[in-house]
Chain A
Amino acid sequence: MLLIILRRLGQSIFVLFLVAFISFMIFRYVGNPVDNLLGQEATTERREALIESLGLNDPLHVQYFDFVVRALQFDFGVSYRTGMPVAEMIVQRLPATIELALVSAVFAILLGVVAGVYTAINRRGFIANAILSSSLIGVSLPTFLIGVLLIWIFAVELKWLPSFGRGTAVDLGFWSTGFLTISGLKSLILPGIMLGLYQMTLIMRLTRAEMLEVLRQDYIKFAKARGLPDRTVYFGHALKNTLVPVITIAGLQLGSIVAFAIITETVFQWPGVGLMFINAVYFVDIPVMSAYLLLVGTLFVLINLIVDLLYLLIDPRLRDGQLRRAGS
């Protein structure tokens, strides 16, 4: 067991270093830090001095090492565009993204699992089939169009919900939250739905497929034959077995939610890190891009790792199987 975890950890660290290396290469070689800091007309001496002080003459591996060390201390350099330290920009904007991702993840998982179980149990029902067909259409719509559609209906025509921004956020010092005001909560609804919708349909279809598979199993038949009530059979036996793969996928989807937040944040002008990244791409703000890559890369690696470990925890067969293999 321990060995498996350690090996998995090693893999993750390797990928992390790779991500860091790509960020470093972008940071160091794309765009020109000296030109950006001094402007093109600076004298040769000032350039030389800056190059020396930035350590740009050091051998590559030393520079890489410095980059990683600084990144570990949350030093990602200074934004070319705003002149602010990148770390400060991220800290300012991260709460907005995390809250948005959280809302859509909860929305996607809750609704996805419920709808998946419902459509699996009532396989021939009219409502179940209606849900399934509409989800098919939903999947083939580009996400940004869904956002635009939501704005059109709920903000422009019905005027129920705001079309941009996160409303009034309350600053808690280290965290600014939109959960505490009415306008903040209202602002979360549309972007939350847009971001979560695709993942929701995915989770729903997966839950349905898994549930149908599980319901075919002998132990479900046996549970029914033992006269357990339907509720116990569906939720006590089938759902738990269904959830193992669903959790894996849902966990992996958490990473995509953060990545797709870029699109949602742009559509709704949501002041998160995704919008920051898009602006950085547009204005070629290299340190911000590099830092964002590092951040999201780390997140993805961590999520993958946690999901794998969770898998070990949930499924006793896997746990013991791994144990035996690790022991041999």
Chain B
Amino acid sequence: MQRFLQSDFFYAFTRSPLAMVSLLVVVLMVLSAVFANFIAPTNPFDPASLNLMNGFTPPMEANMFTGESFLLGTDDQGRDLFSAILFGLRVSLFVGIMAVGLAMVLGVLLGLIAGYVGGWLDTLIMRLADIQMTFPSILIAMLIFGVARGLLPPELREEMAITVLILSIGLSEWVNFARTVRGSTMVEKEKEYVAAARLIGLNRWQIMLRHILPNVLGPVLVIATITLALAIIAEATLSFLGVGAPRTEPSLGTLIRIGQDFLFSGEWWILLFPALTLLALALSVNLFGDWLRDTLNPRLR
């Protein structure tokens, strides 16, 4: 800890207001998502707590029937928007983080194999990556989502939607990890500590995971942060299009989709607040990721 506080990295951090603010926003959002149960005034998914009479209450105003007032207003069901956003944030962050985790594990493993083993495995993995790179990842995510839904029996589709969502976004974002890790692995492979490890008879997997992996993780963290922003936006997009989180477990994207229906009737807050939350989240993760990339690894630009 002492060492961290004295590092150049920490110093650069304290000198960049943008990095500090964006990290603060991200941390606040993660905390409010984790502790949504305790912060939220109501549980938006408990039908018993909903009062349809409270529907369409504007923010900070008293409802004309019940006299109740809500910080950010309510939606058509009389659901408190503030609570719905907290829980939606939870779904969005969960899907985003899990998807990035999946993409990272997959990408790092394939990158290590491609870089260390080489040969036809390398060619295969990299050709696959090249082909996948020519298609936008959101399209691939949609396709995987559709195929996974097709493979599931209809009664499980709603239930598994979140898992399927994680899978499709994760599988569409592995390429960047693999390419970077492959590159650094090929450099590390030639270094003497690898030769030494080979000499004492460690097998490939031991060398790759215990010796090379720790040395190629730096850029991976940067890519993970940047990918997190992409994943959050991808999740929101899919959910907004109706092929993501189900209405029973709405994410920010789902809430925006619901809100769009009420724009014409003048209930703008149902759309605005979830949209602003998504924007703040995506923007701060993005800004922090950019800062991280510039500070840790200018070469990745």
The answer to whether any beta carbons of A and B sit under 8 Å apart in the complex is yes
Residues on A facing B (Cβ under 8 Å): 15, 18, 26, 30-31, 140-145, 148, 151-152, 156, 163, 255-256, 259-260, 262-263, 266-267, 277-278, 280-282, 284, 286, 289, 293, 296-297, 300, 304
CB nearest to A275 among chain B residues: B241
Say which residue of B136, B157, B268, B271 sits within 8 Å of A260 (CB atoms): B136
Q: Is B64 among interface residues, defined by CB-CB distance under 8 A?
A: no
- Other than the given A148-B275, A255-B136, 20 more pairs (CB < 8 A) read A30-B151, A31-B150, A140-B282, A142-B233, A145-B279, A148-B263, A151-B260, A152-B271, A259-B135, A259-B139, A260-B138, A263-B241, A266-B240, A267-B260, A278-B241, A278-B242, A281-B146, A281-B243, A284-B146, A289-B143
| CB-based contact B136/A156 at 8 Å | no
Q: Kindly list chain B residues whose C-beta atoms are within 8 Å of the C-beta of A142.
A: 233, 236-237, 278-279, 282
List 13 A–B pairs whose Cβ atoms lie within 8 Å, in order of A's numbering: A26-B147, A31-B150, A140-B282, A144-B240, A148-B271, A152-B263, A255-B136, A267-B260, A278-B241, A282-B243, A286-B150, A289-B146, A289-B147
Q: Is B145 among interface residues, defined by CB-CB distance under 8 A?
A: yes
The list of the 4 closest CB pairs from A to B, nearest first, reads: A281-B146, A30-B150, A259-B139, A31-B150
Q: Kindly list chain B residues whose C-beta atoms are within 8 Å of the C-beta of A297.
A: 135
| CB-based contact A140/B286 at 8 Å | yes
Interface size range on B against A: 35 or more
**How far, in whole Å, are A15 and B256 apart by their CA atoms in the complex?**
37
| CB-based contact B286/A18 at 8 Å | no
Task: Give min CB distance, A111 to chain B, whole Å.
Answer: 21
| CB-based contact B134/A266 at 8 Å | no
Q: Kindly list chain B residues whose C-beta atoms are within 8 Å of the C-beta of A31.
A: 150
**How far, in whole Å, are A149 and B139 apart by their CA atoms in the complex?**
23
Say which residue of A30, A151, A256, A277 sits within 8 Å of B147 (CB atoms): A30
| CB-based contact B241/A304 at 8 Å | no
Q: With contacts A145-B275, A148-B271, A281-B243 known, is A15 near B131, CB below 8 A?
A: yes
| CB-based contact A140/B283 at 8 Å | yes
Say which residue of B138, B142, B256 sits within 8 Å of A145 (CB atoms): B256
**Chain B interface mostly:** helix
| CB-based contact B131/A18 at 8 Å | yes
**How far, in whole Å, are A256 and B260 apart by their CA atoms in the complex?**
25
| CB-based contact B241/A262 at 8 Å | yes
| CB-based contact A281/B256 at 8 Å | no
| CB-based contact B150/A300 at 8 Å | no
CB nearest to B276 among chain A residues: A145
CB nearest to B130 among chain A residues: A15
Q: Kindly list chain A residues whose C-beta atoms are within 8 Å of the C-beta of B233.
A: 142
Say which residue of A141, A156, A260, A263 sits within 8 Å of B264 (CB atoms): A156
**How far, in whole Å, are A297 and B146 apart by their CA atoms in the complex?**
16
| CB-based contact B139/A262 at 8 Å | yes
Say which residue of A140, A152, A304 sits within 8 Å of B134 (CB atoms): A304
**How far, in whole Å, are A259 and B135 apart by their CA atoms in the complex?**
8
| CB-based contact A296/B256 at 8 Å | no
Q: Kindly list chain A residues whose C-beta atoms are within 8 Å of the C-beta of B279.
A: 141-142, 145
| CB-based contact B149/A263 at 8 Å | no
Q: With contacts A148-B275, A282-B243, A289-B146 known, is A143 near B237, CB below 8 A?
A: yes
Say which residue of B149, B154, B236 sits within 8 Å of A281 (CB atoms): B149
CB nearest to B150 among chain A residues: A30
**How far, in whole Å, are A297 and B143 apart by their CA atoms in the complex?**
12
Q: Kindly list chain A residues whose C-beta atoms are within 8 Å of the C-beta of B150.
A: 26, 30-31, 284, 286, 289
**How far, in whole Å, are A152 and B259 apart by their CA atoms in the complex?**
11
Q: Kindly list chain B residues whose C-beta atoms are within 8 Å of the C-beta of A266.
A: 240-242
**How far, in whole Å, are A282 and B146 apart by their CA atoms in the complex?**
7
| CB-based contact B263/A156 at 8 Å | yes
Q: Kindly list chain A residues whose C-beta atoms are within 8 Å of the C-beta of B154.
A: 284
| CB-based contact A293/B143 at 8 Å | yes
CB nearest to B131 among chain A residues: A15
**How far, in whole Å, are A267 and B260 apart by their CA atoms in the complex?**
9
Q: Kindly list chain A residues whose C-beta atoms are within 8 Å of the C-beta of B146.
A: 280-281, 284, 289
**How far, in whole Å, are A284 and B275 apart by their CA atoms in the complex?**
28
| CB-based contact A151/B139 at 8 Å | no
Q: With contacts A142-B237, A151-B263, A260-B136 known, is A281 near B282, CB below 8 A?
A: no
Q: Kindly list chain A residues whose C-beta atoms are within 8 Å of the C-beta of B143.
A: 281, 289, 293
CB nearest to A141 among chain B residues: B279
**How far, in whole Å, are A304 and B130 apart by their CA atoms in the complex?**
12
Q: Kindly list chain B residues whose C-beta atoms are within 8 Å of the C-beta of A289.
A: 143, 146-147, 150
**How far, in whole Å, are A145 and B154 apart by their CA atoms in the complex?**
31
**How far, in whole Å, are A151 and B260 apart by their CA atoms in the complex?**
9
Q: With contacts A142-B278, A145-B278, A256-B136 known, is A281 near B145, CB below 8 A?
A: yes
CB nearest to A139 among chain B residues: B286
**How far, in whole Å, are A304 and B134 apart by their CA atoms in the complex?**
9
CB nearest to B145 among chain A residues: A281
